[in-house]
Amino acid sequence: MKLYCLSGHPTLPCNVLKFKSTTIMLDCGLDTTSVLNFLPLPLVHSPRLSKLPGWVSKDGTINLEKELKECAGRVFVDAQPEFCLPERELLDLSTIDVILISNYHCMMALPYITEHTGFTGTVYATEPTLQIGRLLMEELVNFMERVPKAQSATSWKNKEIQRMLPGPLKDAVDVWMWKRCYSMQEVNSALSKVQLVGYSQKVELFGAVQVSPLSSGYSLGSSNWIIQSHHEKVSYVSGSSLLTTHPQPMDQSSLKNSDVLILTGLTQMPTANPDGMLGEFCSNLAMTIRAGGNVLVPCYSSGVIYDLLECLYQFIESANLGTTPFYFISPIANSSLEFSQIFAEWLCHNKQTKVYLPEPPFPHAELIQTNKLKHYPSIHGDFSSEFRQPCVVFTGHPSLRFGDVVHFMELWGKSSLNTIIFTEPDFSYLDALAPYQPLAMKCVYCPIDTRLNFHQVSKLLKEVQPLHVVCPEQYTQPPLTQSHRSDLMLELQPPPMPYRRCSVLNLPFRRRYERIYILPECAVIVALT
């Protein structure tokens, strides 16, 4: 049994498991941090961004002024942003039998895997994962296609040239693998290969292996997976949470008795407490509004935003923000809010009980009804005429490189009354802000990551007792910046098997038995003799 590791990003995994002659891909996360190297895509013509000087090496020998622009002391690529794909050379992708998706954040690379690679297998995901994943892909495509940029930049990727560039471009890895965003047509074709599954559903693969998704408590429809035969069991844990937020609680007991447990998707903010961050988020928001400033919240259009809105629903009255308009701007804002209300089966017990009444499970329905929360597909159209300040705006993309958020950065960045509050943990906020410097607006960093922390995961592992644990190498040592924090790593006996991008691990498995069936006629003979 082998594990091929196609992604080095611990929270956006992409691994392939070969088990009993089936080839199973576990998640296909898309590493979007690469877009931080690109210039923002403004929705409205920006004089500042259009007049940036091109980059020429100090000695004048390399002239890339068409491709690279200097902005706020850094060099950025002036082209449509590109993403870092999972490794595609380590094994033949056409041999993959099935892809198991654990949550909608971990499927964004799907079209790159299923299209134009000869892939003929099936993708398994829960209904909320499929529906919200589709929305997020639609949003991404929309963000890119709305601001078309014809030119593509490739010269800088030449190894000889890249070596000469200033950081962080110089240190970017696998730049030749970076790809532009897929098209809606590719998204539709990729998602047509998805087959829906429910929690604890047992799916037979070729009669050899049985796979089954379990609730992981992280997001709507998020799952961990059990991959087992009659005598061997592999658990795949990805993006799980033990906090009480909106999704159904995590199913821990079914992970017991695993021979191997593949552990990915732990919190990216092991030292930040989500509850504390939520408090800080609210207080900073109130403070800014009271002082007459605007609040910008760059966020994904599904997920933590539901919790933020729920928190604000309780907070608005007590903080006297009843008249402050809250805007949610995204091409999928309406769909995301509507979809969140129809997945009763996938919600925590409290929310299910509300549906039985019948009431909408999320209170943002009421915020919308009372006109406190308004949603728009983009800053163009109705929004521009209805927009009042001071206000709170939720919009994407959290990288600040594309989407409507770019416009608000240009609009509000120059005033110290305004505040930008980062809640998504996926991007370094300093890197995200780099092309907008110098900024006068206040920056608050309240990353909310509800995934398991090291304390929770070691408790979990003690309980479910897998024989072996496989995890990204990042989890086997303390974070670079906090090398003394030995509590921020996995310490296990036997030690976990670390993997990195392009690793191929031989999983320590000794298969001893196989299940067969004896025909009743034959069994009768055996019983008689």
Partner 1 sequence: MPEIKVTPLGAGQDVGRSCILVSIGGKNIMLDCGMHMGYNDDRRFPDFSYITQNGRLTDFLDCLIISHFHLDHCGALPYMSEMVGYDGPIYMTHPTKAICPILLEDFRKITVDKKGETNFFTSQMIKDCMKKVIPLNLHQTVQVDDELEIKAYYAGHVLGAAMVHIKVGSESVVYTGDYNMTPDRHLGAAWIDKCRPDILISESTYATTIRDSKRCRERDFLKKVHESIERGGKVLIPVFALGRAQELCILLETFWERMNLKAPIYFSTGLTEKANHYYKLFITWTNQKIRKTFVQRNMFEFKHIKAFDRSYADNPGPMVVFATPGMLHAGQSLQIFKKWAGNEKNMVIMPGYCVQGTIGHKILNGQRKLEMEGRATLDVKLQVEYMSFSAHADAKGIMQLIRMAEPRNMLLVHGEAVKMEFLKGKIEQEFSIDCYMPANGETTTVTTNPSVPVDISLNLLKREMALGGPLPDPKKPRTMHGTLIMKENVSFMLVSSEQALKELGLNEHQLRFTCHVQLQDPHSDADTLHRIYTHLKSVLKGYTIQHLPDGTVIVESIVIKVSSSAEDSNTKVLLLSWSYQVKTWTLFLEGLPMQSKPGSSPNHLVIESLF
Does position 122 interact with partner 1 (CB under 8 A)? The reply is no
CB atoms closer than 10 angstroms to residue 486: 11
**For residue 428, what are its two tokens?**
């370094």
Q: Which of 116, 170, 202, 459 binds partner 1 (CB under 8 A)?
A: 202
Q: Which of 50, 120, 201, 350 binds partner 1 (CB under 8 A)?
A: 201
Pairing state of beta strands 223-228 and 15-19?
A: unpaired
Instruction: Supply the DSSP string of 70-129, one letter for each residue.
Output: EETTEEEE-SS--BBPPPSSSS-GGG--EEE--SGGGGTTHHHHHSSS----EEEE-HHH
Backbone angles phi, psi at 280, to 5 degrees: -65, -40
Min CB(276)–partner 1 separation in Å: 33
Does position 528 interact with partner 1 (CB under 8 A)? The reply is no
Dihedral of CA 10/89/101/181: which sign? positive
Closer of 111 and 128 to partner 1 (Cβ): 128
Min CB(311)–partner 1 separation in Å: 22
CA–CA distance, 5 with 13 (Å, rounded to integer): 8
Does position 253 interact with partner 1 (CB under 8 A)? The reply is no
Query: In this chain, which stretch among 8-16, 64-72, 152-160, 358-366 interacts with partner 1, using CB under 8 A?
Result: 358-366
Does position 208 interact with partner 1 (CB under 8 A)? The reply is no
Contacts with partner 1: how many residues (CB under 8 A)? 37
Nearest by Cα to 469 from 490, 485, 448: 490
Does position 386 interact with partner 1 (CB under 8 A)? The reply is no
CA distances from residue 377 to 300, 313, 334, 432 in whole angstroms, order as listed: 14, 22, 8, 23
**With contact defined as beta carbons under 8 Å apart, do 128 and 220 qualify?**
yes
Closer of 148 and 517 to partner 1 (Cβ): 517
Residue type at 25? Answer: M
Segment 282 to 341, residues that bind partner 1, using CB under 8 A: 334-335, 338-339, 341
Closer of 216 and 267 to partner 1 (Cβ): 216
Query: Could you identify the residue written with the tokens 């956006």?
Result: 12
Q: Which of 31, 67, 78, 127 binds partner 1 (CB under 8 A)?
A: 127
Does position 192 interact with partner 1 (CB under 8 A)? The reply is no
**For residue 313, what are its two tokens?**
């629903």
**With contact defined as beta carbons under 8 Å apart, do 479 and 454 qualify?**
no
Q: Which of 1, 72, 344, 417 binds partner 1 (CB under 8 A)?
A: 344
Q: Which of 72, 355, 391, 411 binds partner 1 (CB under 8 A)?
A: 355
Closer of 367 and 444 to partner 1 (Cβ): 367
Does position 76 interact with partner 1 (CB under 8 A)? The reply is no
Instruction: Supply the DSSP string of 282-293, one letter for each residue.
Output: HHHHHHHHHTT-
Min CB(173)–partner 1 separation in Å: 40
Does position 117 interact with partner 1 (CB under 8 A)? The reply is no
List residues near partner 1 by CB under 8 A: 127, 197-202, 212, 230-231, 334-335, 338-339, 341-345, 352, 355-356, 358, 360-361, 511-520, 523, 526
